[in-house]
């Protein structure tokens, strides 16, 4: 499993990190029940922050499942993702997604984000 862990360097840790992404989001990718905001971070790897509120996902077990599956998705895709800070927001209905659908949604969102970042770098 080496090279596929989820260390602190892959996480947004401070409120300032989150605020910067919200204020300077250059990329926005939507999925069913999910939205990702991203901005370049000047590092050589992506970083992830999660915003999964009780208002949109009522049960703690569902919030924890969303967080766990999102972290796993980033962990597996970290080497193909561009160097951006990503904040993933859960919308209403995100708790209704089963695990397989959630994996597909996240994989598609990361591919679209990668494509959008590559396209913006080319222009």
The encoded tokens of residue 107 equal 């994989």
Q: What is the pTM of this model?
A: 0.90
What pLDDT, in 10s, does the model give residues 58-116? 999 999 999 999 999 999 988 899 999 999 999 998 989 999 999 999 999 999 999 99
The number of folded domains in the chain is 1
The encoded tokens of residue 10 equal 């892959």
User: What is the CATH number for 53?
Assistant: 3.30.230.10
Could you tell me if residue 98 is inside a domain? yes
Alpha-carbon distance 97 to 56, whole Å?
Answer: 13
Q: What domain range includes position 23?
A: 8-122
Alpha-carbon distance 103 to 115, whole Å?
Answer: 18
């Amino acid at each position: 499993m080496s090279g596929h862990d989820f260390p602190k360097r892959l996480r947004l840790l401070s409120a300032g990190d989150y605020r910067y992404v919200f204020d300077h989001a250059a990329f926005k990718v939507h999925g069913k029940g999910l939205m990702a905001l991203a901005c370049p971070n000047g590092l050589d790897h992506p970083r992830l922050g999660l915003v999964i509120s009780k208002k949109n996902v009522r049960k703690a077990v569902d919030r924890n499942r969303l967080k766990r599956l999102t972290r796993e998705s980033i962990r597996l895709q970290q080497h193909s993702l561009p160097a951006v800070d990503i904040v993933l927001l859960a919308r209403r209905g995100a708790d209704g997604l089963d695990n397989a659908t959630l994996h597909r949604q996240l994989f598609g969102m990361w591919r679209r984000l990668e494509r959008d970042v590559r396209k913006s770098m080319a222009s």
